[in-house]
């Protein structure tokens, strides 16, 4: 009886052992690479079982072999008739699907790369598995240029799985969850003025996003990266780089944290403003040109604006590029330093000279003589004293109506006139030749009056004037 039972048990064990060695199409097996030829690699997956994997499945995009003899790999049986054919890529895909299924159930993030754009959204590859992200689920706002997202890698949540036949993911949902997490700890963990270290996670045209830990992400605006001009964040930063920052603003409702790198640096602008003042002459380098003027680098991290109207004293410029170019050395004079707005206004030396306040020494009522410097349709300008001009309106020229003053008084003609109006603040002087004639008559009349023997014998003013005119 005992021998009979033993025999039956051995027979069952043998059957069990034999059935364990039988593999079917679709099974996943694990084995070691035992041989590599020019076209295939042989995999020993136990129980005297051996199959082959086409070498094309074991190479990367550059054609380099991913495995070596002795490596352990998983593979799927794709054909069990005759020589067993195995697929490494199919096993990888199955593993990826299994991982995605687990992530879907646990709602843990997965990393995926955007590989394409279609009408409804984005094609995403996650460990070789193909997924779809609706256009509305990639970010909070509308994306103007979806094609620019191709090639970027993000974290996603799997929102639909369906056994791996249809995989839908969302980055927006993940961002919303993290925003809620950040809001719950942000007020306790951060305060304005904190100095921290973070890791750059993403770079955009306007700034860089920085991981601060505890699901909190902040942003360094491009203007807060350095005291020096930065046109794009990638000039100073790279993804994955650890940086020191200062918290400058916190919005808990929006879960937004504004960061600054430049506030941790010495402020060259403040040092420059303390060491310089209006009227100081300097030399700088033209850093960029705009329609309204040229930015000039005066010191590392310090720029001033040379407005287009402050470049030339002789002619009107349509654009600074008419006389300047980027990289050119230029002499400038500080016109104004605005500490509140952190702006420095510049002028060229010739414009500074022309804008100097004019000191007028002549007095109202004084008779002056000077050369004609220009003739306009409304009057004639003469030089009253160096860098000071006065105008004689046509009505005060004491000429016939409609007279051609350009012909009568060429540039350089010496004219005498009387100052009838003077505005020191605005630097304007109004002259008159008509008043000069009246002035001469009054002086002559006063001189004649002195020659009379007695004031009582003068008679009326009319008589005096009549006598005076007779003597003429």
pLDDT band at 14 (very low <50, low <70, confident <90, very high): very low
CB within 8 Å of 114: residues ≥ 6 apart: 122, 123, 124, 133, 149, 150, 151, 152, 153, 154
Nearest residue to 269 via CA among 343, 193, 336: 343
pLDDT of 456 > 80? The answer is: no
The per-residue pLDDT for 82 is: 81
Beta-carbon-side half-sphere exposure of residue 64 (alpha carbons within 13 Å): 2
The per-residue pLDDT for 440 is: 62
Between 281 and 82, residue with greater pLDDT = 281
pLDDT band at 1 (very low <50, low <70, confident <90, very high): very low
Whole-angstrom distance, CA of residue 333 vs CA of residue 72: 74
**Greatest mean pLDDT range, 68-82, 196-210, 416-430:** 196-210
DSSP class of residue 65 equals B
First CA to last CA across the chain, in angstroms? Answer: 174
pLDDT of 293 > 70? The answer is: yes
pLDDT of 454 > 60? The answer is: no
Looking at every residue in the chain, the average pLDDT score rounds to: 86
Distances (CA, A) of 15 to 3, 11, 12, 21, 325: 19, 6, 5, 10, 90
The model's pLDDT over 357-367, given as tens digits with 9 standing for 90+, comes to 777 889 999 99
DSSP class of residue 424 equals T
- What is the Rg, in whole angstroms, of the alpha carbon atoms belonging to the chain? 46
The model's pLDDT over 16-49, given as tens digits with 9 standing for 90+, comes to 333 344 678 888 888 999 999 999 999 998 867 8
SS3 for 118?
coil
Of 215-224, 259-268, 298-307, 453-462, least confident by mean pLDDT is 453-462
Mean of the pLDDT values across residues 406-421?
94
pLDDT band at 451 (very low <50, low <70, confident <90, very high): low
Structure tokens at 102: 């687990």
The model's pLDDT over 97-155, given as tens digits with 9 standing for 90+, comes to 888 888 999 999 999 999 999 989 999 998 878 899 999 999 888 888 899 999 999 99
**Quick one: how far is CA 227 from the chain centroid?**
13
Phi and psi for 70 in degrees, rounded to 5? 100, -15
pLDDT of 322 > 70? The answer is: yes
Instruction: Map out the domains of the chain with their CATH numbers.
Output: 22-85 (2.40.50.140), 109-170 (2.40.50.140), 175-264 (2.40.50.140), 276-354 (2.40.50.140), 357-472 (2.40.50.140)
The per-residue pLDDT for 448 is: 61
pLDDT of 61 > 90? The answer is: no
């Amino acid at each position: 009886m005992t021998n009979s039972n033993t025999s039956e048990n051995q027979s069952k064990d043998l059957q069990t052992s034999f059935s364990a060695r039988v593999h079917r199409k679709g099974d996943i097996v694990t084995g070691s690479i035992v041989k590599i030829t020019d076209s295939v690699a042989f995999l020993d997956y136990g129980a005297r079982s051996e199959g082959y994997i086409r070498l094309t499945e074991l190479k990367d995009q550059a054609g380099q072999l991913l495995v070596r003899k002795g490596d352990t790999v998983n593979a799927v049986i794709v054909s069990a008739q005759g020589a067993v054919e195995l697929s490494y890529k199919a096993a990888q895909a199955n593993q990826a699907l299994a991982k995605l299924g687990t992530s879907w159930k646990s709602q843990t993030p997965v990393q995926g790369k955007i590989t394409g754009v279609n009408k409804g959204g984005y094609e995403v590859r996650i460990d070789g598995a193909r997924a779809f992200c609706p256009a509305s689920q990639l970010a909070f706002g509308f994306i103007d240029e979806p094609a620019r997202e191709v090639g970027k890698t993000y974290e996603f949540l799997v929102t639909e799985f369906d056994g791996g036949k249809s995989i839908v993911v969302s980055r927006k949902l993940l961002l919303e969850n993290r925003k809620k997490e950040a809001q719950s700890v942000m007020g306790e963990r951060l305060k304005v003025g904190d100095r921290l270290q973070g890791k750059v996670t993403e770079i955009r045209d306007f700034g860089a996003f920085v991981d601060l830990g505890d699901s909190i992400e902040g942003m360094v605006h491009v203007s807060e990266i350095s005291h020096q001009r930065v046109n794009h964040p990638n000039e100073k930063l790279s993804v994955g780089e650890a940086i020191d920052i200062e918290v400058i603003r916190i919005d808990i409702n929006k879960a937004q944290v504004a960061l600054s790198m430049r506030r941790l640096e010495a402020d060259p602008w403040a040092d420059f403003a303390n060491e310089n003042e209006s009227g100081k002459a300097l030399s700088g380098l033209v850093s960029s040109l705009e329609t309204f003027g040229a930015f000039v680098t005066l010191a590392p991290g310090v720029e001033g604006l040379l407005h287009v109207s402050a470049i030339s004293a002789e002619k009107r410029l349509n654009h600074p590029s008419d006389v300047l170019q980027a990289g050119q050395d230029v002499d400038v004079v500080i016109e104004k330093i605005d500490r509140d707005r952190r702006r420095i206004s510049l002028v060229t030396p010739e414009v500074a000279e022309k804008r100097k306040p004019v000191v007028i020494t002549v007095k109202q009522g004084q008779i002056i003589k000077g050369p004609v410097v220009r003739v306009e349709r409304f009057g004639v300008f003469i030089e009253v004293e160096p860098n000071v001009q006065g105008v004689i309106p046509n009505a005060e020229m004491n000429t016939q109506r409609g007279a051609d003053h350009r012909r009568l008084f060429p540039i350089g003609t010496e004219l005498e006139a009387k100052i009838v109006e003077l505005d020191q603040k605005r630097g304007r002087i109004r002259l008159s030749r008509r008043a000069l004639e009246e002035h001469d008559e009054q002086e002559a009349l006063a001189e004649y009056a002195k020659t009379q023997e007695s004031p009582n014998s003068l008679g009326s003013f009319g008589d005096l004037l009549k006598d005076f005119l007779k003597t003429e």
